[in-house]
């Protein structure tokens, strides 16, 4: 059985691509066959975050148009054998993605016995975002504890409940999860940032992960190595937990509190 998971948010810049890359790596590291697809047609980015930008020959739209076979366009990850990337096209043609085209590509991946297909949605609620979520079985809604991100997420939840294959055909709907990123426990403690509980209460969804704000996320994207592979990073551990929860493990949320700093650290900074 192949499970199709959309990583979406509405608002841009909240960490969809970072999350798609890390979740895909985490699943592949557990031996699952994973394909991660960039739906942001025109603005290809997932390849950079995955570190395979120089190996893109064919893209998503090439496969849809029949310019190449699906296998030719799937880029095999150099680190994880079961992980594959399908890059977005850089075409400016807004109609390059079609429902039928996307369905054919997904069917091809299902026939190829992939365990997971991660759809990295573009920001907004236009066609790319619509098609990224349309065939999903599950949705990971990435949200920052910030007003505009939370409001946009709620809008996306509305679309997931009404404009997806599962909701239209009454197949029990899309299973939805929240994933908070850029979480800053110190600011939450000071009352300057909404807490996990606040966001959970407003959106009324279960939380699959909380990723603390971390300099490691930028370093990882600089290097083209998904942050989940940064061994000593809290952000990596948080993504690893989220992957485990996605697979049904029950783990308590971590990194919700500021790490206790010793006397010297407090005196001399660091």
Per CB under 8 A, residues contacting other proteins are 146-147, 150-151, 154-155, 158, 162, 188, 191-195, 198, 201-203
Nearest distance in Å: CB 200, other proteins: 11
Q: Both tokens of residue 252?
A: 């308590």
Closer residue to other proteins in complex, CB, 21/193:
193
Nearest distance in Å: CB 87, other proteins: 34
Closer residue to other proteins in complex, CB, 78/155:
155
- The beta-carbon contacts of 170-173 under 8 Å, at least 24 apart in sequence, are none
Closer residue to other proteins in complex, CB, 118/160:
160
Q: Could you tell me where the DSSP H helices lie in 117-256?
A: 127-134, 147-162, 165-168, 185-189, 196-203, 215-223, 234-246
DSSP 72-100: HHPEEPSS-TTEEEEPPP----TTS--HH
Tell the burial category of 152 from Cβ atoms under 10 Å away from its Cβ (0-12, 13-18, 19+). Answer: buried
Closer residue to other proteins in complex, CB, 133/227:
133
Nearest distance in Å: CB 159, other proteins: 9
Nearest distance in Å: CB 242, other proteins: 23
**Sequence-ordered list of residues with C-beta below 8 angstroms from that of 245, at least 6 positions apart, any chain:** 208, 209, 251
Nearest distance in Å: CB 198, other proteins: 5
Closer residue to other proteins in complex, CB, 195/233:
195
């Amino acid at each position: 059985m192949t499970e199709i998971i959309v990583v979406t948010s509405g608002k841009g810049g909240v960490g969809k691509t970072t999350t798609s890359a890390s979740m895909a790596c985490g699943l592949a590291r557990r031996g699952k066959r994973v394909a991660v697809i960039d739906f942001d047609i025109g603005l290809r980015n997932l390849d950079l975050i995955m570190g395979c930008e120089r190996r893109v020959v064919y893209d998503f739209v090439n496969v849809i148009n029949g310019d190449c076979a699906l296998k030719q366009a799937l880029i095999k990850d150099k680190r994880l054998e079961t992980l594959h990337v399908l890059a977005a096209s850089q075409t400016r043609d807004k109609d390059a993605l079609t429902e039928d085209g996307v369905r054919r590509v997904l069917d091809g991946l299902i026939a190829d016995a992939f365990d997971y297909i991660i759809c990295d949605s573009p920001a907004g609620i236009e066609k790319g975002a619509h098609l990224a979520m349309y065939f999903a079985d599950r949705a990971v809604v990435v949200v920052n504890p910030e007003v505009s991100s939370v409001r946009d997420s709620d809008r996306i939840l509305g679309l997931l409940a009404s404009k997806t294959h599962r909701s239209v055909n009454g197949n029990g709907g899309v299973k939805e999860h929240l994933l908070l990123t850029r979480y800053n426990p110190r600011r939450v403690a000071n009352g300057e940032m909404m807490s996990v509980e606040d966001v959970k209460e407003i959106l009324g969804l279960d939380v699959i992960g909380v990723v603390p704000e971390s300099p490691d996320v930028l370093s990882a994207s600089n290097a083209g190595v998904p942050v989940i592979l940064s061994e000593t990073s809290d952000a990596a551990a948080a993504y690893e937990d989220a992957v485990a929860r996605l697979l049904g493990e029950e783990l308590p949320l971590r990194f919700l509190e500021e790490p206790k700093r010793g006397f010297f650290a407090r005196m001399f900074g660091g």
